[in-house]
Chain A
Amino acid sequence: MTISLPYKRTILFGLFMPMTLFILGVYNGIMQTIYQAGVIHRSSVAGINYYQGLTLHGVINAIVLTTFFAVVFGHVTISYYLKKEPPRWSYQISMILMVVGTLMDAFTMLAGTSEALYTFYAPLKDSPLFYIGTALLIIGSWVAFAGWVKIWFEWRKENPGKKMPLAVLGTFVNFTMWFISTLPVAYEVLVILTPWSLGWTDHINVPLTRMLFWMFGHPLVYFWLLPAYIAYYTILPKVAGGKLYSENAARLAFLLFLILSTPVGVHHQFSEPVFTPGTKLWVSILTFGVAIPSFMTAFTVGASLEYAGRKRGARGLFGWMGKLPYFQKENFLFGYFICGLILFIFGGLSGIVNASYSLNQMVHNTSWVPGHFHMTVAGPVLLVILGVSLYIYSTVSGREIKFRTLATIVPYLWMIGVALLSHGMMAGGLMGEPRRTNMGLTYTNPDSELFNKHWVPTSTITMIGGFVMGAAALLYFISFFATAAGKKTRESIIELPEYEELHEEKTIPLLLNMKPWIIVSVILILFTYVPALISVFKYSAPVKNKFQVESPVNLIK
């Protein structure tokens, strides 16, 4: 469909700005692997210190890039499937809030006043501008959702009896879950942390802030992941040359995410005081539950790919795997999808280890954890972001994709890089290597008395992986920015590759109505978090602590 000028500008800017910041995110990622491997024994390089770089890496890659993409991809999918543009106020206000919030965050991180990493755990203090900026970014994404809801109701009135398109359901599930789970973090940053950071309040209940953070922090990872799932269900069958195996299964998977994504945040806190073992076990069980829609997705997407392979003449049980459109310039998206899926097999399985209650003690906060999540957020999530961003930028701007060959090999190279990086981190983690630590100064520095020789080979593999990922990112940036700088040669349109269903399925009313699922979601959240909140107040006390990263002196006298 054609696109209005302001909508087009919003979409293109929403892709271009975070991608530009992503250069800084990637640079700081590579630098960390060099510090950690003990190649350099320094606290800072080129004016950015290790922890400042780590903060930039986490906030830009995991919050800014992912949230912008979820919103822009939401605009494109909703408009493509409903054949409507959202009201102008919604996408413009949303983009302005997100951009202003991001600039506030970027400014305070670069100025060195917010270095408490992307989890901003109190009582380490960030600048109040950082807390407010993060809140604006989140609120901006809510406004975009409000616009989609409005055109959805219009569409429903105009198309009585029609099913909600699968991609619309996926997007709505994602943003409903996102809205519910960002309320606690909005409360944390605006009501607790900002006044405390400004010096208006002294007391802070640290376990409470941590619980509120993880009420948001885990749904956040599904918020990154669901756009990728939407792409796997609705775009991949088409680009693979096959059909979607079952739409009902896809709908059920999305709705299961809606009920199970939020009440599992405590599984990041198995090693903490304050929560009872009962709460922790319950959350472990729920997290096993949320693995089921991922197993279903693996099956449905796998079956869709198998169908595509067999259509190309594949034989035998596994023959279809060799008959898929790898390394095809005209079909570059396929590489991004399949490489993401391959990484996600290992990302998902390692995630089950993390979720496993007492087994978590083996890996909690070791480098195993970033090893795991680079195979999810830097696997399917990022690869879908990169591939689809290039596709959307080209179709919406009307420009040809430049350096297509480079863009085609990027995902394969990236996958090799992530595999090495994650292997190094996970192997090190099993030997106790801590995450988020400038190991080059001590643990991987032979001159330090804290030197640990076991962590040198693992962190070296991590660094090699980091270099390969950096090379892949460089090739991608060449293609993306050359495309953005190119001349308009075609009409600007909103278009997506659209799946077909393999077979007509019976309509299941429960899978078409989000309301009962939202109710179950709220019940599960209350059932989990009311006891958790009671434990917080029973087992902890507020403290008068406020610290900056540079100094062990309490800012509150």
Chain B
Amino acid sequence: MNKYEIRVMLLSGLLLSSFLFALLYNAFSRKIDVPACIPYNAAFEKGHFKQMDDSTYEVYVSAHMWAFDPAEIVVPVGSTVDFYLTSTDVVHGFNIDGKAVNLMAVPGGVNKVTVAFNSIGTYRIVCHEFCGVGHQNMMGKVIVKDKNDQ
């Protein structure tokens, strides 16, 4: 191996280190991170919706063939929502359009992510893991409304 090869290794190492720095910066400074780890409990299998205070919500989403429960989630603009996600049958996906929320719903495991909804609109939730013949019909919605429009 000559000096050019050593340089290539160093340069590619440096490039990848800069990517790693970007990831760490986002994880620690801007709190952009991967889903959190929650111990499994069968209580998560029941889909429901909880308002914690004016702008904080907890949504327990239960995915099953071929729908999300609850299928429609309505929150006022400016809300922060904790999603807890599991599945009662097979593996499903949970991708909120335009929000970079991208989770797997795995039976026997609970996924958690926190999202802020700061603009009004309808965010579609697509199942993106094959879950049987009805997979392409499986969709949910988050509707973010004006605060005065409840």
**A61 at the A/B interface (Cβ < 8 Å)?**
no
A365 to B104, alpha carbons, bound, how many Å?
9
A206–B132 contact, CB under 8 A?
A: no
Chain B CB within 10 Å, residue with most, of A123, A275, A358, A438: A358
CB distance from B39 to the nearest CB of A (A): 5
Given contacts A277-B36, A292-B13, A547-B65, contact A439 B136 (CB under 8 A): yes
**B145 at the A/B interface (Cβ < 8 Å)?**
no
A549–B89 contact, CB under 8 A?
A: no
* Those of B1-51 within 8 Å (CB) of chain A: 1-2, 4-5, 8-9, 12-13, 16, 19-20, 23, 26-27, 32-40, 42
Contact of A545 among B36, B42, B90 (CB under 8 A): B90
Instruction: Kindly supply a per-residue 1/0 record for chain A positions 133-149, scoring 1 wherever the CB is within 8 Å of any chain B CB and 0 otherwise.
Output: 00000000000000000
B16–A436 contact, CB under 8 A?
A: no
CB distance from B3 to the nearest CB of A (A): 11
CB distance from A458 to the nearest CB of B (A): 14
Contact of A547 among B27, B101, B132 (CB under 8 A): B132
A299–B5 contact, CB under 8 A?
A: yes
Interface pick from B52-60, B72-80, B106-114: B106-114
**B62 at the A/B interface (Cβ < 8 Å)?**
no
A356 to B12, alpha carbons, bound, how many Å?
15
CB distance from A308 to the nearest CB of B (A): 17
How many residues of B sit at the interface, in one of the four size bands?
35 or more
B38–A273 contact, CB under 8 A?
A: yes
**B91 at the A/B interface (Cβ < 8 Å)?**
yes
A284–B109 contact, CB under 8 A?
A: no
* Those of A398-440 within 8 Å (CB) of chain B: 432, 434-439
Residues of B within 8 A of A364 (CB): 95, 102, 128
Query: What would be 30 A-B contacts, judged by CB atoms less than 8 Å apart?
Result: A51-B130, A123-B107, A124-B91, A207-B109, A246-B2, A269-B104, A273-B38, A273-B85, A276-B37, A277-B27, A277-B37, A280-B34, A299-B4, A363-B102, A365-B104, A365-B128, A365-B129, A432-B126, A434-B126, A434-B128, A436-B135, A442-B136, A539-B40, A545-B107, A547-B90, A549-B133, A550-B133, A552-B66, A552-B89, A554-B89
The 7 closest A-B pairs by CB, nearest first: A552-B65, A434-B128, A295-B12, A273-B109, A273-B111, A365-B128, A288-B16
Instruction: Enumerate chain A interface residues (CB-CB to B < 8 A).
Output: 43, 49, 51, 54, 116-117, 121, 123-124, 205-207, 210, 246, 248-249, 252, 269-277, 280-281, 284-285, 288-289, 291-292, 295-296, 299-300, 303, 352, 356-366, 432, 434-439, 441-443, 450, 452, 505, 535, 538-543, 545, 547-552, 554
Instruction: For the A-B complex with A43-B133, A271-B35, A505-B1 known, give 11 more contacts whose Cβ atoms are closer than 8 Å.
Output: A271-B34, A274-B37, A285-B20, A291-B16, A295-B12, A356-B19, A365-B104, A432-B124, A434-B93, A437-B130, A543-B107
Instruction: Enumerate chain B interface residues (CB-CB to A < 8 A).
Output: 1-2, 4-5, 8-9, 12-13, 16, 19-20, 23, 26-27, 32-40, 42, 64-66, 85-86, 89-91, 93, 95, 97-98, 100-104, 106-112, 124, 126-137, 139
